Chain A
Amino acid sequence: MALQDQDPQAERKRIIAGRNRALALVLLGLVVLFFFITIAKMG
């Protein structure tokens, strides 16, 4: 929530884009994890 001296809109977009990328990675990781758990449980 820190205030940005220069171009707060650009900073906001950068932070949200970073969070979106991190969330996408987590979701992708969960998909891969659940896939391997399923394979391990079947084996």
Chain B
Amino acid sequence: MSTAPAQPIPLPADWRDFLSLTKPRVMSLVIFTGLCGMLAAPVAVNPVIGFVAILCIAVGAGGSAALNQWWEADLDGLMKRTASRPLPAGRMERTSARDFGVALSVGSVLVMGLAVGWLAAAILAFSIFYYAVIYTIWLKPRTPQNIVIGGGAGAFPPMIGWIAATGEVTLMPVLLFAIIFFWTPPHFWALALFVETDYAKAGIPMMPVVAGHQSTRRQILVYSVLMLPISMAPFWLGVAGWLYGLSALLLSAAFLLLSLRVAVFRGGAADGDMRPEKRLFGFSVLYLFALFAMLVADRFLVG
């Protein structure tokens, strides 16, 4: 009687794999903008409640990131940048990622509602739905405008932070939302220009793949022009002081100049030379950190 060779039993996923599902690097930006939204609000927040609000925003973002990776596991396996994630690398069952994402999402909304407020919890729940369903499942595989509308998902944290502090939706949280909403397309399209081959391989209709480089560069410029008045709006409308206004003006002008380099004056860079795009992408991250840091500095230093 012959016996079949024993099947090797797959190893369970490590806790680090679960942590990486939450996209900790993206989470750091979410925590930062959420915290800035809360600190910029004109009310004092109980430190414990403030901590819980930021924790819930971060955990909610982590949950939606896990759901994103659960849904996109096959696509992630086709791209070099994402192929080593736990699901495409085969270190985790897909259902584990889905259950983990649902648990984090539901838990963060419930704790936010019970400890902080149900308005903030409702917006947190909508932001998770927006990222996991509207962006990941619906728009990303269907339209090159995926980043424009999907950018709304990343724009919620400062709004939630502000609403967690004040308990109401006013003009300022909407402006904070708008700043990130209009910042997202040039930020991601700059990245998509120099990783285009990866997105094309996965069949994701990123703007450079569908509309071409020239059209994407023009649209980067359009959003960069729009960002100038939008980032200045809190100052013009009197909800932020001169320190923020001056910083927003300088930062947005620098952003616009770098976008001009990408769209019009490429400084002699050849078609394959992506240094202007890489420079814009790098600066866009710095831009958002600096703009929100200045918003908080303005609140505490200028008042």
Contact = CB atoms under 8 A, between A and B. Distances in A.
B149 interface: no
A40 B14 contact: no
Given A22-B15, A40-B48, A3 B10 contact: yes
A18 B9 CA distance: 19
B5 interface: no
Interface residues of A, number: 20
B48 A8 contact: no
A12 B12 CA distance: 7
Nearest to A29: B55
Interface string A10-23: 01100110110110
Interface in B23-63: 46, 48-49, 52, 55
A21 B114 CA distance: 27
Nearest to B15: A22
Main secondary structure of the interface of A (DSSP, over half): helix
Interface residues of B, number: 21
B8 A3 contact: yes
A21 B91 CA distance: 19
A17 to B, nearest CB: 10
B225 to A, nearest CB: 44
A16 to B, nearest CB: 6
B115 A37 contact: yes
**B11, B18, B90, B91: which has the most chain A beta carbons within 10 Å?**
B11
Interface of A: 1-4, 8, 11-12, 15-16, 18-19, 21-22, 33, 36-37, 39-41, 43
23 contacts: A1-B11, A1-B12, A1-B90, A1-B93, A3-B10, A8-B11, A11-B11, A12-B11, A12-B12, A15-B13, A18-B14, A19-B14, A19-B15, A22-B15, A22-B18, A33-B52, A36-B48, A37-B49, A37-B52, A37-B114, A39-B48, A40-B46, A40-B115
